Amino acid sequence: MSCRLLMLVVTAILVLGSGSTLVRAEHEGKVQILLLGDSTTEGSVPRRHVPQGPHLEDVIRELLAAEKDLPPTNVINLGLSGEYIRRLLDSGRYEKAASKLPGIDYVLIRYGLNDNARRENLAENFPKDYHELIGRLKNDHPQATLVVMTVIPYGDEATSRRLNELNSQVAKAEDLLLFDIYPRYAEELKRGPDMLNYRRFPLEKIPENRREFVKPFVVPGQAPTVEVLDNRLDAHFGQLPGWFGDRHPNLAGYHVIGDETAKFLAPLIRAKFAR
């Protein structure tokens, strides 16, 4: 009899994001979905400002729950800001946080943005790193369906195209599903180029006579920043060079990613687990 039929409850404490937030993953006969990726998967800034969410994993889980013929799911978000595949493997975080998770059914992997910035000879090393990660996932989670994802629109279009061609090549070489999130996100951006990203801007670049005004939005630190998840301050600072420079998703952006992810996963889960 399988663990799913036994309804075995296993509690795993996982490090999410910077390590300050702990989430409990309960294996209760649910379909287990694991998200691996960088800051555009983690969503640390939206979590800081709206800790109650819903965040990416919540959106995916709740949308799948709305499909009444599907079994319940548990979505584990192990995205981490600044992460790239080599660091995930070499830091020991993969081994500690991901390798021993119980009963994983699907793993969605989205890397490339930081790999592009951190790895020399990207065309050779990124696929090499990816194949190593996939090999470890296949060994640790042999029953799981592994899915390679494309990056979302973030930098210039040429860089995104290059990264997504590499992602596609890896998926083809490994005979894995490719989940192309890029077109949906790009289409949504046509409604407004800055509607899906938050604003994060150095406080020192805010005019001095407006710094008291922005106090409620300041995140302290060695280099304090003004952070706002929406467009409410655009009227005051939208003319400042770089105000719209941060392209990380806000909550609206994660709803787009979550919605498209649920649409991708639903038929796969239905075919395998539908009641």
**DSSP-derived pairing of the beta strands 21-26 and 11-16:** antiparallel
Which domains can be identified in the chain, with CATH numbers? 3-191+251-273 (3.40.50.1110), 199-237 (no CATH)
Average pLDDT, the chain: 91
Determine the pLDDT at residue 26: 54
First-to-final CA distance of the chain: 18
The sheet that has 199-202: what strands, in order across it?
199-202, 225-228, 218-219
More confident: 22 or 54 = 54
Confidence band for 155, pLDDT divided at 50, 70 and 90: confident
Cα angle 227, 253, 156; round to 5: 85
Using one digit for the tens of pLDDT, what is the confidence trace for 240-275? 999 999 999 999 999 999 999 999 999 999 999 866
Determine the pLDDT at residue 274: 67
pTM, 2 dp:
0.89
Written as one string, the DSSP assignment of the chain is: --HHHHT---EEEEEETTTTEEEEEE-SSPEEEEEEESHHHH-HHHHHH-TT---HHHHHHHHHHTSTTSPPEEEEE---TT--HHHHHHTSHIIIIITT-TTEEEEEEE--HHHHHH-SSHHHHHHHHHHHHHHHHHHH-TTPEEEEEPPPS-S-HHHHHHHHHHHHHHHHHHT-EEE--HHHHHHHHTT-TTTTB-EEEEGGGS-GGGTTTTGGGEE-SSS-EEEESSSTTHHHHTTSTTTT----B-HHHHHHHHHHHHHHHHHHHHHHH--
Percent of the chain exceeding pLDDT 90 equals 88
